[in-house]
Structure 1
Amino acid sequence: MSTISIHGTEFLSFAHGGSRSCRQRFRRISRSWRIMNKTMDSSSSDTAKGELSLYISRPPSIQQADKLMQNDLRFDRLQPAEPGIEEGKRFEFGKFVAREAVLDEEYWTAAWLRAESHWEHRAHERYADNFKRKFAEQEFNAIKRRCKGLNGQKCSCIVAVRKEEKNIKRTVIKSVVGTLDLSIRVFLQGETFPGERVKSQLFCSISREGSNRYGYIANLCVAKSARRQGIACNMLRFAIESARSSGVEQVYVHVHRNNTAAWELYEKTGFEIVERQQPAEGDTYLLRCTT
């Protein structure tokens, strides 16, 4: 008897019926085989018979893979010297620098800032810290996947980090003070702007000449300790310039109708309203900036 172990992708069979029968995993496949052994000087044949067993190992699940990524993080890692990034790929302002994230620890800190922002007004809720941690873990893995690029889309995680200071050493976690996502997307057929719901003369008048791609900004947030220092505004300007250098002519963002601070910020950086939803349809408005 011969046994061969093969490590590879798990085979799944799909059957009609209930949810349990939709996935039946084959862990072992056994099949009889025969080998005919003929020699040049003999007309007889010897037949060898045995059993071939194939063992298929299950690949790690997405959750397991995500856990492995998180385990590779070094939370005591010092912020390295600023990498040699070509001009136009970084933007200095005051004591900070805006650029794309390059380290996993920077991705994690960006995810944690978003978790803190999301739960900022819910700190009194029971288990808020546990939910915040779970939110950060999910967002970290989502950032990693988005930045790999899917379906022709490009996504960048932009961070604002503190400039290096002589005789001062900081960890990566203490260096990142702001973040946002910039996605380069393609208009769907019939769209004149993202998520178009109603065609009207006003909306259809928006120009799309020159490109069928657009930029979209999301997840903008700044650490509490670093606010009121122009970080959000300068990250936005860097994101708009990055979109322009990629050949994109329009950058969009959704803003909550009651977020006065956000309205002022986006209007300051050149955004204008292109879609007003009725309160019953949603709580956000769509803004656009022409690069």
Structure 2
Amino acid sequence: MSIVAAQPPDLLRLSAWRNGRRHFPGKFTSPHVGARSFIRASNDWKRECNVDSKDVSIECGRLGISCGPSDLRFDRLQPTEEEINCRHRRVFGRYIAREAMLDEEFWTAAWLRAESRWEDQPGDRFLQFNKRKFADQEFHAIKRRCTGKYAEDCTCVIAVKKEEFGVKRTVLSSIVGTLDFSLRQLLCGQTFPGERSKAPFSCGIFRSDLPRYGYIANLCVAKYARRQGIASNMLFLAVDAARSSGVHQVFVNVHKDNITAQKLYERIGFQIFERATPQTEEEKLYLLCYDV
């Protein structure tokens, strides 16, 4: 699958400036992944993840988000739903959409995104190295976003297989999809995310008193699990989270040539945000909006 929710360039530049470090756009999207909407996941990706386990920093682990170095155990069994205490959950078919709580869940979400980024480059001689490097970087980026390192409140949503009696699964084999959902504030002078406002540069900073909105990014689903409503239900969960947080609009950026993704969002209820069209057309993106 390809990532169907592209990060707006202006937000990337702002994030890099605000945090005093460079954020690479490739962490969120790729010029090679705009044409499809589902991740192409190989059958041996869990084995590839295991290869990297010896290179991960080790510290005491626990059930929940760890802010420090991670005790990644790739043979860790999928926790029961009674063990998971999360704010948002949606049950559908044979799956459950909820927020990620374990470091192993963050890692698996990062690996799905790595597979998505390089799905159209099977002949790349450095393919496996690049995927593992990207997954490691994205894993740490997800943890930073979800543990309050940035101003916005970010949640990594995952879709997991339901528990089955007598069946034991690892965390790695239980996750079939992921997306990021964040609550953000508009900048001074902006009327929509990423707008190039005419306000003074000094106003282009984070202020908690400005209007909030929801933003979706990094949506992907494993190839073998697609066409089962997984992407739709993760999106519905994100909309429910936005509603419970009191925001009135949820935005997502989609590449103009990604027709499959556009149809998916239209079915959910997203519409093209017309005021942003002149600007986003220059960036070959559409800004879609869902009115909560």
**If the length of structure 2 is used for normalisation, what is the TM-score?**
0.69
Aligned residue identity for 2:224: S
CA deviation map 1:152-208 (0-9, x unaligned): 410000000000011111100000100000010001001111001378xxxxxxxxx
More displaced, 102-111 or 115-124? Answer: 115-124
CA gap of 1:195–1:106, structure 2 versus 1, over 3 A, is same
Structure 1 residue 149 displacement after superposition: 1.7
Structure 1 residue 84 displacement after superposition: 5.6
Q: Which residue of 1 aligns with 2:268?
A: 269
* CA distance in structure 1 between the partners assigned to 2:69 and 2:110 by the alignment: 12
Q: Which residue of 1 aligns with 2:79?
A: 80
* CA distance in structure 1 between the partners assigned to 2:83 and 2:77 by the alignment: 17
Aligned residue identity for 2:187: L
* CA distance in structure 2 between the partners assigned to 1:183 and 1:126 by the alignment: 35
CA gap of 1:128–1:86, structure 2 versus 1, over 3 A, is closer
Structure 1 residue 245 displacement after superposition: 0.2
- Secondary structure of the residue aligned to 1:122 is coil
| Mapping of residues 115-126 of structure 1, within 5 Å | 115-126=114-125
* CA distance in structure 2 between the partners assigned to 1:235 and 1:118 by the alignment: 20
Q: Which residue of 1 aligns with 2:34?
A: none
Structure 1 residue 129 displacement after superposition: 1.1
Query: How many matched pairs?
Result: 217
Q: Greater strand share, 1 or 2?
A: 1
Which structure has the greater CA radius of gyration?
Answer: 1
CA gap of 1:86–1:139, structure 2 versus 1, over 3 A, is closer
Query: Does the Cα contact within 8 Å between 2:77 and 2:168 map onto a contact in 1?
Result: yes
Q: Greater helix share, 1 or 2?
A: 2
- Structure with the larger RCO, 1 or 2 (CA within 8 Å, 6+ apart): 2
Structure 1 residue 83 displacement after superposition: 3.2
Q: Which residue of 2 aligns with 1:241?
A: 240
Structure 1 residue 228 displacement after superposition: 0.8
Aligned residue identity for 2:117: H
CA gap of 1:126–1:85, structure 2 versus 1, over 3 A, is closer
CA gap of 1:280–1:255, structure 2 versus 1, over 3 A, is closer
| Mapping of residues 26-175 of structure 1, within 5 Å | 67-68=57-58, 72-83=71-82, 89-175=88-174
Q: State the percentage of identical aligned residues.
A: 58
- Secondary structure of the residue aligned to 1:72 is coil
Q: Which residue of 2 aligns with 1:290?
A: 291
- Secondary structure of the residue aligned to 2:77 is coil
Query: Does the Cα contact within 8 Å between 1:211 and 1:249 map onto a contact in 2?
Result: no
**If the length of structure 1 is used for normalisation, what is the TM-score?**
0.70
Query: Does the Cα contact within 8 Å between 1:277 and 1:284 map onto a contact in 2?
Result: no
* CA distance in structure 2 between the partners assigned to 1:195 and 1:278 by the alignment: 9
Structure 1 residue 279 displacement after superposition: 8.1
* CA distance in structure 1 between the partners assigned to 2:279 and 2:186 by the alignment: 23
* CA distance in structure 2 between the partners assigned to 1:278 and 1:95 by the alignment: 41
Query: Does the Cα contact within 8 Å between 1:255 and 1:287 map onto a contact in 2?
Result: yes
Q: Which residue of 1 aligns with 2:193?
A: 194
Structure 1 residue 82 displacement after superposition: 1.0
Query: Does the Cα contact within 8 Å between 1:277 and 1:283 map onto a contact in 2?
Result: no
Query: Does the Cα contact within 8 Å between 1:181 and 1:220 map onto a contact in 2?
Result: yes
Q: Which residue of 2 aligns with 1:17?
A: none
Consecutive unaligned residues of structure 2, counting only runs of 5 or more, are 1-55, 59-67, 199-208
Structure 1 residue 131 displacement after superposition: 0.4
CA gap of 1:224–1:277, structure 2 versus 1, over 3 A, is farther
* CA distance in structure 1 between the partners assigned to 2:155 and 2:179 by the alignment: 8
Aligned residue identity for 1:100: E
